[in-house]
Amino acid sequence: MDRNTGIWDEVSLSITGPVKIIDPHLVSSFFDGYKRAYLHTTLELENRSGWVAECSLKIQVTTEVENSICLVEHLHTQHLSIPPGARVQYSFPELFFYKPNLWWPNGMGEQSLYNITIATDVEGFGESDMWDHLFGFRKIESYIDSATGGRLFKVNGQPIFIRGGNWILSDGLLRLSKKRYETDIKFHAAMNFNMMRCWGGGLAERPEFYHYCDVNGLLVWQEFWITGDVDGRGDPISNPNGPLDHDLFLLCARDTIKLLRNHASLALWVGGNEQIPPDDINAALKLDLRLHPSFGNDNGNGRVVEDTDPSQYLDGTRVYVQGSMWDGFADGKGNFTDGPYEIQNPENFFKDNYYKYGFNPEVGSVGMPVAATIRATMPKEGWQIPLFKTLDNGYVEEVPNAIWEYHKYIPYSKPGSVHDQVLQYGTPQDLDDFCLKAQLVNYVQYRALLEGWASHMWSKFTGVLIWKTQNPWTGLRGQFYDHLLDQTGGFYGCRSAAEPIHVQLNLANYCIEVVNTTSDKLSDVAVEASVWDLEGSRPYCSVHERLSVPPKMTVTITKMKYPESENPKPVYFLLLRLYRMSDNGILSRNFYWLHLPGGDYTLLEPYRMKKIPLKITSKVISQDSTYEVLMKVENTSKKPNLEDQLHKNNFCHGVGNGALEKLTLDINENKQEARILQKLNRLFSRESNSLKLVETNGVDVGVAFFLHFSVHVSKNVIKEGEDTRVLPVHYSDNYFSLVPGEIMSIKITFEVPPGNTPRITLNGWNFSEDITVL
């Protein structure tokens, strides 16, 4: 950070009475297999008056039962006398909880949080100060795994396979806001990530960031502000003893620890990025991050703790690692063994020799946004797509325009090892064509990355963090949503690959695998694999029934017999579905587009002319400027007499839980569905009177390929380059494909600027139509 920046964050003033509450520290301990838990609380109290303060100190623990109705779990009051001008440390009696609701990372369970309120009343004055914080009962452990050499994390005794990303900061101009944080963290949770690394070249975010990580189950790797490119490892070598003021650095570090330590999501502290702090700072951090000796030594009555300096015992409930490539990360020795940061052949992620170490803290790739974002953020000179220069060795080198270069564009080719992945779909004609093809590559690239890691779960890897998930500016380097908050195809590739229960194709050996990262065994499940060609026929289908998948394991089910069969098609689609045999309920759905070895996807270019009929049913629920739109999309093209297991289990991806999962949007709703909607819509002030239906007049049979919704402000006249998008929008899924007869339900939520009417557009590789839902 520029040392001349001055005050750049919010400044607030608070008024208290004579006694102030300072830096409460909440720690939980567990016994009897997490059935019994204790909450330990210590804090400092400062009497700023000139007389003895007779205090009534109260701690209250509540939990929300339903719809803002709270249950008081504990209420304890203690009397204290604090001398004038004194600052004392106090420990409450341990509070006992039987079978507390545990906090779990995203994908492992609920994010149960208790509200802790501490207040002090002073005799003759009244309430002097109050402090409150959400607290999650969980135990985080971390150690170097002997099987993989990677750092392994456990939460509540369960190993967590880490799939997440590197977070830079919310905004490069430090325009930090609660609303933006909420969107950022929801996006990461929607990608099924379970960890975010706050990179050492950034900052400690505002408390709201960690609050939303608590609420959404994102474990946080918090790095201190040491980074190798400016603190001793740059090229040329930079200041080896940085930062300049060690005392000031430690003062900031200690304040940060006290600010963040009560967050359930905070998983570990790390000294620096690709660098360890100077010896004195490193030693001080190790010393400061110890657990206070008063925890676990309670006599049941609470007490004032004497002769102990609280500034020397700041945490102790999570591990401290000295640097991002040490002690179970990368090679564990600090060598530059993270990365790479460029386009890869998708099948390489599955190969045994792709990455040698157990936990990769940084691996990155491409990040091109949609064309509308380029037009909204760059002058016309930046709308020019790269030149494709063919080299003597047959590879293509991309030559981007100067504006893309400035914005750190990563090419979609790597001459000598990776042929241009965009050109595999045909030569782009303009910006829209290039960006659409880039979204196809983004989806494939990042899905393969995470599926490759999951294929080797626990046998080779303990986790991976992608570099990076977002940009704090309008950069074109690896990202899953752009600075305007529009998602890329890579967002939904990650969402698919990182789901807790997942069916996938190993692109290196063409084996079908089931990944179960949960703590529960999968029993009596089936996997269906169906191949669809560009003519709408299904040349191959197989079903494997009565399967069991142990918890925390990746299991190979079978090797695909297609395309080894006779007369395989050069380009084809593969749909994998994992479902329960008891009710045909789908646990995972995964759609691939593939070509034969040595081929490409150029046959998809004429496939854009196919007109696939779709039926789109929508229902709108709104409150003020907030909208929730429930969509059902059906590919109505079918071959005659097609007996298809697919039609037994229509897919509803991530629409929600409870009533919403049961929602179907048929025109003729039955009474049960109506009751469900009535219950759900009590929360909303306005509901459309009827379902709306749009049917397209396509006459072809085949896959409706790479469909994606977008939301816009409705306008009669649109100027060239004008950005009409409503952002951000939360989609339960997007960039999806439907085989003949298949149905998918999508939930779309967003806010529109006051005074505007939204419209929703559905586009795709072989479909483009505006859908008016309001």
Residues annotated catalytic, as ranges: 274, 362
CA distance 48 to 84: 7
- Cβ contact 472:483 at 8 Å: yes
For residues 575, 581, 586, 589, the Cα torsion angle rounded to the nearest 10 degrees is -20
Residues 98, 101, 103: CA angle, nearest 5 degrees: 135
CA distance 516 to 521: 8
CA distance 56 to 78: 6
Residue located via tokens 């890691």: 453
Q: Return contacts of 27-32, CB within 8 angstroms, 24+ apart.
A: 27/291, 27/295, 27/316, 27/317, 28/135, 28/137, 28/138, 28/139, 29/295, 29/296, 30/137, 30/139
Q: Cα 131 to chain center, whole Å?
A: 30
The backbone region for 711, taken as left when phi is positive above 0, alpha when psi lies in -120 to 50, beta otherwise, is beta
CA distance 193 to 500: 10
CA distance 748 to 711: 9
H or E element, residue 496: helix 489-497
- Cβ contact 577:589 at 8 Å: yes
Handedness of CA 307, 310, 312, 315 (dihedral sign): positive
Kindly state the greatest CA–CA separation across the chain.
93
CA distance 221 to 219: 7
CA distance 73 to 659: 29
Q: What type of residue sits at position 494?
A: C
Of 163, 215, 170, the residue nearest 193 (C-alpha):
163
Residues 415, 416, 420: CA angle, nearest 5 degrees: 40
Residue located via tokens 């402000």: 713
Residue located via tokens 């789901």: 499
Strand, coil or helix: 522: strand
Please report how the helices 178-190 and 489-497 are oriented relative to each other, as an axis angle in degrees rounded to 10.
50
Residue spans of beta strands (DSSP E) within 641-691:
651-652, 686-687
CA distance 489 to 435: 10
Could you tell me which residues come within 8 angstroms of residue 417 by beta carbon, excluding any fewer than 6 positions away? 345
Q: What is the DSSP string of 168-192?
A: --S-TT----HHHHHHHHHHHHHTT
CA distance 184 to 416: 37
Parallel, antiparallel or unpaired: strands 736-738 and 704-713: antiparallel
Q: Up-side HSE of residue 661: CA atoms within 13 Å toward CB?
A: 8
Q: What type of residue sits at position 238?
A: S
